[in-house]
């Protein structure tokens, strides 16, 4: 006796092809990742070149470092860093003195600075991060006040994470200052910085088009082939489903 759910092969094959292609397209679009962003280093100072010149610089960008001490010139030295051979250190600190890092942000957004900093027992410990977008007007970073540790054990072999700070910067920033805000214990006191990184993010692409839910496809009257280890086929949204080892067998039995 023939099954009452059999349909002519000529009616079944086009429906199976359309349903299979439709589901394949649905699965492909569903797994396309949405537009995402990744951090890109614009400039980085590790001072392993015993210089204020950044060792890492994004193509097309420019960057530099300035040191300001109101009491007079303080020539930098390059003692052991935080997990590296060198850092940068100066003395003669007073309120208003700073380390400044200038850079071109290009088209990157969500800018950020991260750095390691410590001071000697009589060095400055209270700082405020400031930014500028025009090179002349400087503004405090929100939440940018911080305190550095005094005399922590920096070595070239290990990294001390408790001496690391990071701050988000406004879009359009072209310079960051780390400014001393409290009189240090003595003019001979020093402050060291290391591993200074300026970074930003760039969208990797636009988000994909919205994908209809399966329920929405059903409302549109689309027939979807169910994918299982034993293939199955359907002729219409309300038609019977029969499982076969392959689509070819589905065709032959229809």
CATH topology of domain 37-203: Jelly Rolls (2.60.120)
Place 124 in a pLDDT band, splitting at 50, 70 and 90. very high
pLDDT, tens digit, for every residue of 85-111?
999 999 999 999 999 999 999 989 999
> 69 to each of 163, 205, 225, how far by Cα in Å?
23, 45, 74
Helix (H, G, I), strand (E, B) or coil at 184: coil
Contacts of 17 (CB under 8 A, 6+ apart): none
Boundaries of every domain in the chain: 9-33+212-253, 37-203
pLDDT-above-70 percentage for the chain: 65
Q: What is the 3 state secondary structure string of 30-68?
A: HCCCCCCEEEEEEEEECCCCCCCCCCEECCCCCEEEEEE
Q: Is the pTM of this model over 0.95?
A: no
Q: What is the mean pLDDT of residues 208-231?
A: 47
Report the first-to-last Cα separation within the chain, whole angstroms: 14
Query: pLDDT value at position 129?
Result: 98
Query: pLDDT value at position 249?
Result: 45
Contact 167, 129 (CB under 8 A): yes
Query: pLDDT value at position 234?
Result: 45
Query: pLDDT value at position 43?
Result: 97
- What are φ and ψ of residue 26, in 5° steps? -60, -45
**Closest to 242 in 3D by CA, of 80, 5, 26, 23:** 5
- What are φ and ψ of residue 75, in 5° steps? -75, 130
Query: pLDDT value at position 44?
Result: 98
User: Is the per-residue pLDDT at 224 higher than 80?
Assistant: no
Q: How far apart are CA 80 and CA 74, in angstroms?
A: 18
User: Is the per-residue pLDDT at 154 higher than 60?
Assistant: yes
Q: What is the mean pLDDT of residues 154-167?
A: 94
Neighbours of 20 (CB within 10 A): 17
Query: pLDDT value at position 73?
Result: 76
pLDDT, tens digit, for every residue of 17-40?
444 444 444 444 344 444 456 789
* H helix intervals, the chain: 9-30, 214-219, 247-253
**Which range, 4-8, 33-37, 91-95, 231-235, is most confident?**
91-95
Burial class (CB in 10 A: 0-12, 13-18, 19+), 176: buried
Query: pLDDT value at position 132?
Result: 98
In this structure, of 11-15, 146-150, 190-194, 206-210, the range with the lowest mean pLDDT score is: 11-15
pLDDT, tens digit, for every residue of 125-134?
999 999 999 9
Q: How far apart are CA 129 and CA 208, in angstroms?
A: 38
Query: pLDDT value at position 243?
Result: 39
């Amino acid at each position: 006796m023939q099954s009452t759910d059999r349909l002519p092969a000529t009616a079944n094959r086009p429906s199976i092809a359309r349903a299979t292609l439709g589901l394949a397209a649905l699965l492909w679009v569903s797994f396309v990742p949405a537009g995402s962003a990744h951090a890109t280093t614009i400039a980085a100072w590790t001072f392993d070149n015993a210089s204020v010149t950044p060792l890492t610089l994004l193509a097309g960008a420019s960057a530099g470092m300035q040191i300001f001490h109101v009491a007079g010139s303080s020539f930098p030295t390059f003692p052991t860093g935080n997990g590296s051979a060198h850092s940068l250190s100066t003395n003669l600190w007073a309120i208003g003195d700073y380390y400044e890092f200038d850079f071109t942000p290009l088209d990157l957004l969500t800018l950020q600075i991260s750095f390691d900093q410590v001071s000697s027992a009589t060095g400055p410990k209270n700082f405020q991060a400031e930014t500028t977008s025009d090179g002349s007007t400087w503004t405090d970073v929100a939440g940018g006040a911080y305190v550095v540790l005094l005399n922590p054990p920096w070595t070239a072999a290990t990294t001390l994470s408790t001496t690391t700070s990071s701050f988000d910067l406004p879009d359009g920033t072209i310079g960051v200052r780390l400014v001393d805000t409290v009189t240090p214990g003595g003019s001979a006191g020093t402050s060291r910085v290391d591993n200074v990184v300026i970074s930003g993010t760039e969208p990797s692409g636009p988000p994909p088009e919205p994908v209809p839910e399966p329920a929405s496809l059903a409302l549109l009257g689309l027939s979807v082939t169910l994918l299982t280890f034993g293939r199955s086929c359907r002729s219409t949204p309300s038609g019977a489903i029969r499982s076969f080892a392959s689509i070819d067998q589905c065709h032959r039995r229809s």
